[in-house]
Structure 1
């Protein structure tokens, strides 16, 4: 019960990795706020978790919504101890086909959204002289054809983690990033459709490239978050943890 008495905020928590993270933190004692544009999905996820949870509709690319959501969490639970910035979307295309809207939506959700969430959360964490922030990057930060927007956002999150670790460390706040590889989620399944192959073909391609001969599960990422956001990791900050089933530079 490493998170007994602590409050965790997870964005993009209605499905997939976000729900898996929320579930794991709740199992270890945390009060969990699930933020998502899909409020019905977030409410259903909160019901499945079945402990002290709070589902909040939130567009992370809207500063006011983020600030109001975190204030609501603090009012309900009395603190904000852990922030996991997981909300994300894809709008994949080659550069000559990528629209301004494709670029803006992905950058605003991943990068600006994480900035808004971190800036809002640190106001509570600095006052209590304690906090753990985990940003969700991706193996795509190394580059994926057809993902200029997504790759730029995920690489940017790694830089953001390093800078925030420097700025917030003196206040006993740890900031790290996780870079998942192929994780079995709806978003990954959509990637298969984008490149015109079946999901089974995409899985097999990943398995062949991986040292660990399977694809990842949301629980794999949740375990990594639970480690980085725990007190035993208090001397780890500004790092990128690759959870990809293979060696990654």
Structure 2
């Protein structure tokens, strides 16, 4: 039989003064949402992607400008550092570590379920948990910024435009067949190693490490 735990704050007399969802919480949440959306619009207006065909940007533009790609750069860092003999550890950083973090987040309610002891948690413990959360989010933000700020995220139209060649600004017409046939052949033969030659059919295999280097140093890796 399931044990029913009594919550003292719901004991009579009634009515009690609880934290109401309406209107206090609604207006607080709405204020935060409006501020975040406004900040996004302001940043999008100040730092626009230069798409004027008459004045293309330089390939090196976009460094130190916040962009959504910054989150991807953090996730792709294992491809940057784990190369050569260390490539056998790629699955740890690209799959198992993110998978473990997701599972841990799902288990948090189970491992830290509410109990009488936690309800009576003292101020010192609350400060400790808050400090731990602050440090965790701070390190996460530092990692995102540190891996993303060197990327030239707004300089792509400098080369990726129709004037640079056929379908240069568009996906390949046979992209599906290319990845299923030609790219798979490159992987099978080269073992994820970039080749020495390049051709219209993709003679050199450009892996994730190449993609990161292309974002970080587009004038040197292309």
Same fold (TM over 0.5): no
Please tell me whether Structure 1 or Structure 2 has the larger radius of gyration of its CA atoms.
2
More helix as a share of residues: 2
Q: Which has the higher strand share?
A: 1
Superposition TM-score, scaled by structure 2 size: 0.23
Q: Taking CA–CA contacts closer than 8 Å with sequence separation of 6 or more, which of the two structures ends up with the larger relative contact order? A: 2
**TM-score, normalised relative to structure 1:** 0.21
